[in-house]
Chain A
Amino acid sequence: MWKNLPLFPDQASSIAYQVDGLYAFLVVVSAFFTVLIFALVFLFAVKYRKAAHPKPQQIEGSLPLELTWTLIPLGISMIFFAWGALIYFQEARPPRGAMEIYGVGKQWMWKFEHETGQREINSLHVPLGRDIRVILSSQDVIHSFYVPAFRVKADALPGRYTSTWFRPTKVGTYHLFCAEYCGTEHSGMIGEVVVMEPAAYQSWLAAGGASATMASNGKELFTQLGCATCHRSDTQGRGPNLAGLFGKSVQLSDGRIVKVDENYVRESIVNPQAKVVAGFQPIMPTFQGQVTEESLGALVSYVKSLSQPQQNAQGGGPLQTAAASTSN
């Protein structure tokens, strides 16, 4: 009916209902206070207008009233705070077994790569009902991955990974926007998210004809770049053995303990001296500028795959924020 004047966005993800629930609550409470203030101002202004009430009655103030309108708003806002935080925490923690998709923003397009190796530009095909974690980075300036119908948004930053996740609940095609201003064609950096029935998604994947998975591309790069020379699959290497490493915590040469996540692997490739594992020499050369954003994704995916028992099992993402940064 309201084709030309929608007033509410599509609800197409599991979190959308929750966000809208809180939004509705906020709208109701805000409307109450707005009407209250408007009504009181109007009432007092009319009732005590000069003509009707020529002699003002001086009132200094009232401590009970001050406390009332300090504590009640404070109490209500704590509900907003807690409710909003609960949603944010869910958005920050991708469920175990989420399917992972790598997204790279660049002026002015979105590039996606599925774990199975299919690549697409400015469109993202996802299966209905599956938890999907999008791991984001940028090749140049800051972009922001925004799907209004899912109520999710996460900045894509140059030099590190961030991530967000969603579970699509409705088949359809939805807007994908870049929400962080990124230069000339910012408003053209848009695309679509296509939610498909799982079977349709499988045939879409098959039609895509990817020759190799991300992890196997990463493995090839791992050999090509000579990583395997030091990162051997035994304990004799000059670098740590990467098998089973992802998701674990390691002790660094300066005594700190860090968790091996996407950002740590990434940093160790482009800036290997930053966090050297205890017991190893800081001898690894940097690969900054030698590996593209896509290659980095493939390498990270490969390192991850070394920690997964079966070929196609998806390890649960580590605890991450909606836009995680654990490297700093």
Chain B
Amino acid sequence: MATAVQATVERENYLNHDYSLKSWLLTRDHKRIAILYLISITAMFFVGGFFAMLIRLELLTPAGDLVSSDTYNKLFTMHGIVMVFFFLIPSVPAVIGNFVIPLMVGARDLAFPRINLLSWYLYMIGATFALVSMIWGGVDTGWTFYTPFSSSYSNTHVVGSALGIFITGFSSIFTGLNFIVTIHRMRAPGLTWSRLPLFCWSNYAASLIMVLGTPVIAITLLLVALERLFHIGVFNPALGGDPILFQHLFWFYSHPAVYIMILPGMGVISEVVTCFSRKRVFGYEFVALASIAIAVLGFLVWAHHMFVAGISVYAALVFSLLSYLVAIPSAVKVFNWTATLYKGSVRYDTPMLYAFGFIGLFTIGGLTGVFLASLGIDVHVTDTYFVVAHFHYVMVGGMVLAYLAGLHFWWPKMTGKLYPEGWAKLSALLVFVGFNLTFFPQFIVGYLGMPRRYHAYPPEFQVLNVLSTAGASVLAVGYVLPMIYFMWSLRYGEDAGPNPWHAVGLEWMTPSPPPTHNFDETPVVTWEAYDYEHQAEIDEEVAVGH
């Protein structure tokens, strides 16, 4: 083993073959583009986190005393826009998916390497628009841009921010397109659909939504801009428009977008849970098809955001029913991951700790979603902190933990280095504890009736808000730690070797970091996904192949 590691370090890989800036900015290597995305979205994550910190500080006291109302409104708006469009949506697909999907399917690169690079540039241009709008004074519409407030009343930089999201949307469409084509056309010989790692299945499902859903948000934001700039009546009733139409169009994308955010995260969890239980996933077909079911049903539930907005009772009835149906495949996944542990040989490495955290928090996030799908409950808790807590449990408790699980899992592959395990375990613990302390009190304060997006609030809600702010500071430490030890590991970390976790999966059968062309020879797959039972034989087969 030691000699193998030695040999790996010496050889040329995607990182050391050329150090020039030009070689990075004009790269068409999916692995380098993933690193570019990693740096960009990490920066955006800390920008969004900074806004969150100011929000939590303001809410320490009932009076709106730290910042002005206008500033507060801009803070939660920009927190939402940055986190949703510039962090969560690209997080797992554009960073981890970009890096590992071609490796997982045994391909040299994604199907369209140039479009992949273009997608990063579009992301950067969109992010620049959004950031410049923020520096010029920000936007205060909420990330939801509800009309006619956004189109006729707000005096902030709505068009600039919307344009940023519009442009970034194309980067997500291109990523989706690339994944779909790659997974269809570039799988290694023998890698049938039923042998495909679940990470590919779930990214494939998310890609379908990216390609089909994103154009709708693009059109919607364009219409907002048209109404705002040229007073073309689309959404504002004073101009002959319909404000509810906006909500239909917005949520037609933005609810499925929730599944763009969570599905790739679910893929990470399937990889991690199997690897650290040394077992096949329980019910492979069910987990795989659940992803597709979520993607399809996810398109049919958008109006559950509008139960008090003035839609008909019968429409509400149908959307409530469909919302229950979309919850089922998510539940199926949770049960299958849990069953995968059964009679496994479970290790507690950091990615697995994050995966445990994901299962727990996603369960709570999912079940509280069931509360919201119930019409009678939703009337009371919609637009309160209950909703805020629910979607943070799914988006942060679920997606961010899955992203961190994935980052810790594939970091050795991406960089060839191991991070310090003790610190990493501490970060997993801090994130889990800090997260619950931040968001669990928000369920209670939400059911008590505290509306979201409130700069000032009645004094009886203070204790719960103080708890939440205290939790947020723990959470912040949990997020900064990985940032530090990942950087540290680049210089001081131990060499990882090609397969530090002894995982099966094609990405582990090439050196870390992988060579630019990924594999010396195209691998031939003769085994099922997560075939830990035959790991020794597979390793031998691959070694002979070399």
Q: Which residues of A line the B interface, CB within 8 A?
A: 3-9, 18-19, 22-23, 26, 30, 33-34, 37-38, 40-41, 44-45, 48-50, 53-62, 65-66, 69-70, 73-74, 77-78, 80-81, 83-89, 91-92, 107, 140-142, 144, 146, 148-149, 151-155, 157-160, 162, 175, 177-188, 321-326, 328
Contact = CB atoms under 8 A, between A and B. Distances in A.
A59 B457 contact: no
A187 B453 contact: yes
Given A49-B346, A58-B533, A73-B327, A324 B310 contact: yes
Given A44-B346, A50-B346, A70-B328, A186 B454 contact: yes
B149 A54 contact: no
B140 interface: yes
Contacts of B277: 48, 56
Contacts of B70: 184
B334 to A, nearest CB: 6
A22 B327 contact: no
Given A44-B346, A140-B153, A188-B69, A325 B311 contact: yes
Interface string B247-286: 0000000000000000000000000000001111011111
B284 A61 contact: yes
Given A30-B367, A44-B342, 8 more contacts: A37-B338, A57-B344, A61-B339, A88-B379, A152-B379, A186-B455, A187-B456, A324-B310
A30 B341 contact: no
B376 A181 contact: no
Contacts of B455: 186-187
A187 B320 CA distance: 29
Contacts of B347: 49-50
A19 B377 contact: yes
B466 to A, nearest CB: 10
Contact of A153 (B312, B380, B456): B380
A37 B447 contact: no
B378 A84 contact: yes
Interface string B206-240: 00000000000000000000000000000011100
- Which range contains the number of B residues in contact with the other chain? 35 or more
Contacts of B312: 321, 325-326
Contacts of B237: 157-160
A216 B316 CA distance: 37
A73 B458 CA distance: 38
A7 B376 contact: no
Contacts of A325: 244, 310-312
Contact of A59 (B280, B378, B458): B280
A155 B316 CA distance: 15
15 contacts: A23-B447, A30-B364, A41-B338, A44-B338, A45-B346, A50-B347, A69-B331, A81-B374, A87-B379, A91-B376, A92-B313, A141-B153, A149-B449, A175-B458, A321-B311
Contacts of A22: 374, 376-377
Contact of A19 (B73, B317, B360, B380): B380
A90 B379 CA distance: 12
A179 B387 CA distance: 12
Contacts of A9: 447-449
A40 to B, nearest CB: 5
B13 interface: no
A157 B460 CA distance: 30
B291 interface: no
A-B pairs with the 4 shortest C-beta distances?
A148-B449, A159-B237, A87-B376, A84-B374
B320 A183 contact: no
B250 to A, nearest CB: 13
B448 A8 contact: yes
A24 to B, nearest CB: 11
Contacts of B324: 74, 77-78, 80-81
A41 B341 contact: yes
Contacts of B280: 58-60
Contacts of B371: 23, 26, 30
A326 B310 CA distance: 9
A133 to B, nearest CB: 15
A148 B341 contact: no
Contacts of A26: 370-371, 374, 377
A148 B243 contact: no
A180 B457 contact: no
Nearest to B284: A61
Contacts of B374: 22, 26, 80-81, 83-84
A64 to B, nearest CB: 11
B328 A73 contact: yes
A146 B383 contact: yes
A177 B449 contact: yes
A68 B535 CA distance: 31
B522 interface: no
A32 to B, nearest CB: 10
Nearest to A7: B444
A18 B379 CA distance: 12
Given A44-B346, A186-B73, A155 B310 contact: yes
Contacts of A3: 460
B308 A323 contact: yes
B128 interface: no
Nearest to A63: B283
B335 interface: yes
